[in-house]
């Protein structure tokens, strides 16, 4: 599933580390703009991961990244590079 979509504010990459995510749904529930939805497919660990449903709605607030108990969400925002690493993979 592609997560890279050219956003009107800048390229944003929202990735979920499938090795770390425990399917707690906090990101899905608390995203202010409902970017995520729950996958209907079990991953290899037996969790239903969040998937990015509406990347264009992402404002780059990083609430999900900070809330995530697993440090499984990685946000890449070219507007605020910092010490961000660029990845193009998605845990499945």
Partner 1 sequence: MPEPRHRLMDYVREEIMPHRFCAGCGCGTILNVFTNAVANIGLEPTRMVCVSGIGCSSWIPSPYFKADTLHTTHGRPIAFATGVKIMRPDLTVVVIAGDGDVAGIGGNHLIHAARRNIDLSVFMVNNMIYGMTGGQVAPTTPEGVKTATTPHRNVEPPFRVADLVVAAGASYVARWTTYHVFQLMKSMQHAMTKKGFSFIEIVSQCPEYYGRRIGLRTGVDLLKRFKQQSVRVVKAQGMTEQELQDKIIVGKLCDLDRPEFVTQLHELTNEQVELLRKETTN
CA 15 to chain centre: 4
Q: Which residues, 44 to 63, sit near partner 1 by CB under 8 A? A: 47, 63
Out of 54, 66, 79, 80, point to the residue binding partner 1 (CB under 8 A): 66
# binding residues, partner 1 (CB under 8 A): 32
Is residue 45 a contact partner of residue 12, using CB atoms and an 8 Å limit? no
3 state SS of 77 = strand
* Residue 8 vs 82, nearer CB to partner 1: 82
Q: Which residues, 12 to 41, sit near partner 1 by CB under 8 A? A: 15-20, 22-26, 29-30
Distance, in Å, from the CA atom of 61 to the CA atom of 65, rounded to the nearest integer, reads: 9
């Amino acid at each position: 599933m592609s997560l890279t979509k050219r956003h009107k504010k800048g390229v944003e990459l929202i990735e979920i580390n499938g090795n770390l995510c425990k399917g707690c749904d906090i990101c899905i529930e608390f995203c202010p703009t409902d970017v995520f939805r729950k996958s209907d497919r079990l991953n290899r660990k037996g969790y239903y991961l969040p998937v990015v449903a509406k990347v264009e709605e992402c404002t780059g607030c990083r609430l999900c990244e900070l809330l995530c108990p697993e440090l499984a969400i990685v946000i890449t925002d070219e507007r605020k590079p910092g010490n961000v690493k660029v990845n193009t993979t998605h845990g499945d």
